[in-house]
Amino acid sequence: MADTVTDASDAGIVVDAIARSFGSVHAVSQASFTVPQGSITGLVGPNGAGKTTLLLMLATLLQPDAGSIRIAGINPSADPAAVRSVIGWMPDSLGTWSSLSPRTALKMIGRMYNLDAQAAASRATELLDSVGLTPLADQPARVLSRGQKQRLSLARALVHEPRVLLLDEPASGLDPAARAELRSLLRRLADDGATVLISSHELAELEEISDAAVYMSGGVTASSDALTRAATSTRQWRIRSLDGASLRSALTGIGVAPENIAADNRGVLVSVTGEADAAQLLGALVTAGVAVTSFSPAVGEFEHTFLDLTQNSAADQHPNAPLNGGAQ
């Protein structure tokens, strides 16, 4: 399972008990985690969890009220300029100069990062190719689609070859091919030593690329105990076989309770507790002669953990309330 990172050695990002309020609203009240250099970490949480506020503090755009942050070993509160020189910041939505071409915009950003004219032009050409915007390099930005603007925003974040990347919904508006290219690009950057923190609601996609995850809810990062509980909570696995009737019969025959068996349009769903139980179930089905063609979790690990944490958080806050929100 991809767990919250806690080892501070070789860390690109270290967050220790930070908090930030806006009047009476505690956007972030207790966030602590570490992201190692050369890794990709997903930032997961519901709307209003405090993820964007956290990213803004990491990007030096907000000061924390309490706690400490280190970006590549630098305190952003004490030396924000030094932090900005090593981070690439891609917000959820960043406007473009509608009359400027992507090439011109990237050259200008390069000059802002003190690249000389030749180096800025060369870097712009390189990035336009990396993000797939070469065919539109010299068109005004107003002709770009939402997804193409996201590609340009990513390129702007990469102009100065940052050591730490902070990305807020980077895949928003991208088509499937562009999303695959984004994953490949970020993986290459991490393999080359960059530290990448990504906030996204696309949990299946985030899980595919991330080495670990930080879970937030109500401005608080999830504890290791909560993550352990989520990892061992009941989870549905989807099973497909050449003969659905024999599969159901075999499940009953090996002692799976009927209430733990369901179905959807993609197969039979069986509730199990943990991966060890799932492996035991698969072994029993194969031994029983079932021709299993597919055996996998019904939802990804990030989504399962997110839903478990959210459900338990709601139950802790309202212990007498039904989990489905219906009347008692």
Confidence of residue 319 (pLDDT cuts 50, 70, 90): very low
Q: Tens digit of pLDDT for each residue in 52-79? A: 999 999 999 999 999 999 999 999 999 9
pLDDT at 314 over 60: no
Q: Tens digit of pLDDT for each residue in 173-220? A: 888 888 999 999 999 999 999 999 999 988 988 999 999 999 998 899
Class of domain 232-317: alpha beta
Look up tokens 């008692």; give the residue.
Answer: 328
Per-residue tokens: 4: 């919250």
The per-residue pLDDT for 11 is 78
The per-residue pLDDT for 274 is 81
Alpha-carbon distance 77 to 34, whole Å?
A: 18
Confidence of residue 273 (pLDDT cuts 50, 70, 90): confident
Confidence of residue 101 (pLDDT cuts 50, 70, 90): very high
Alpha-carbon distance 212 to 256, whole Å?
A: 32
Which has the higher per-residue pLDDT, 319 or 28? 28
The per-residue pLDDT for 10 is 60
Closest CA to 175 of 150, 142, 138: 150
Q: What is the DSSP letter of 304?
A: H
Query: Is 188 exposed, middle or buried, given 0-12, 13-18 or 19+ CB atoms closer than 10 A?
Result: exposed
* Contact by Cβ (8 Å): 36, 12: yes
Which of 52-66, 83-97, 122-136, 141-155 is least confident?
Answer: 83-97
Q: Tens digit of pLDDT for each residue in 126-139? A: 999 999 999 999 99
CATH number for the domain running over 11-222:
3.40.50.300
Give residues with Cβ within 8 angstroms of 307, minimum separation 6.
299
Which of 87-101, 230-244, 308-322 is least confident?
Answer: 308-322
Confidence of residue 1 (pLDDT cuts 50, 70, 90): very low
The per-residue pLDDT for 154 is 94
The per-residue pLDDT for 226 is 86
Give residues with Cβ within 8 angstroms of 24, minimum separation 6.
none
Closest CA to 240 of 268, 211, 272: 268
The per-residue pLDDT for 9 is 45
Confidence of residue 317 (pLDDT cuts 50, 70, 90): very low
List the domain boundaries for the chain: 11-222, 232-317
Confidence of residue 275 (pLDDT cuts 50, 70, 90): confident
Q: Is 172 helix (H, G, I), strand (E, B) or coil?
A: coil
The per-residue pLDDT for 313 is 60
What number of H helices and E strands is found in the chain? 11, 13
Alpha-carbon distance 254 to 6, whole Å?
A: 40
- Amino acid symbol at 142: R
pLDDT at 84 over 80: yes
**Beta-strand (E) ranges in 37-130?**
40-44, 66-71, 87-90
The per-residue pLDDT for 31 is 95
